[in-house]
Amino acid sequence: MAPPKGNKFWEARSSHGRKPIFENPDILWDGCVQYFQWTEDNPLEEAIVYQGALNETQSKPLMRAMTISGLCLFLDINYSTWENYREKDDFIRVTKNAEQIIYNQKFSGAAAGLLNPNIIARDLGLKDESKQEISGPNGKPIEVSNFTFVPVGADK
């Protein structure tokens, strides 16, 4: 049976929408710290096989890169929820600190060779740019459009 038209049952609710998972910045920060500790306590492992008299396999711990998506999975929230926390005045300090810690961990790991520098550089938005200009006899740049390379001797 449908509710009667013009009802105001929705006004009787104790709250509008779902209760936030993290009611204050301190609770969110505690969750972030738990994620940081989890990444330290749970490194990735590389299997190393030694051949010889005994075929022995050992594991070598590898640094696990922290990520915002990994943090969101750990906190059991969507990335859009993280973005919402980033926009709330009382949560800005916590979200910025967490993002800076993640950035620094990845950058430091790549610089030390513990993480793949190419992947981390792309993820962090770092790039090494080089620009080439061709100049003509007067020293001014030459604009090249619809240029097709023809190897020497290809016209025969």
Domain CATH code at residue 61: 1.10.132.80
Closest CA to 109 of 72, 54, 52, 61: 61
pLDDT score, position 75: 93
Query: Which DSSP symbol is given to 12?
Result: G
150 within a domain of the structure (yes/no): no
Does 5 map to a domain?
no
Residue 144 to residues 129, 137, 138, 152: CA-CA distances in angstroms? Answer: 20, 15, 16, 19
The answer to whether position 79 is within a domain reads yes
Per the domain annotation, does 140 fall within a domain? no
Residue 100 lies in a domain: yes
Q: For the chain, how many structural domains are there in total?
A: 1
Distance (Å, whole) CA 25 – CA 123: 27
Highest mean pLDDT: which range of 43-47, 77-81, 118-122 = 77-81
Q: What is the mean pLDDT of residues 52-58?
A: 68
Element at 56 (helix H, strand E): strand 56-62
Mean pLDDT of the chain: 80
Percent of the chain with pLDDT over 70: 69
Does residue 105 sit within a domain? yes
Q: 107 in a domain, yes or no?
A: yes
Task: Provide the domain limits for residue 63.
Answer: 21-40+48-124
Is 116 part of any domain? Answer: yes
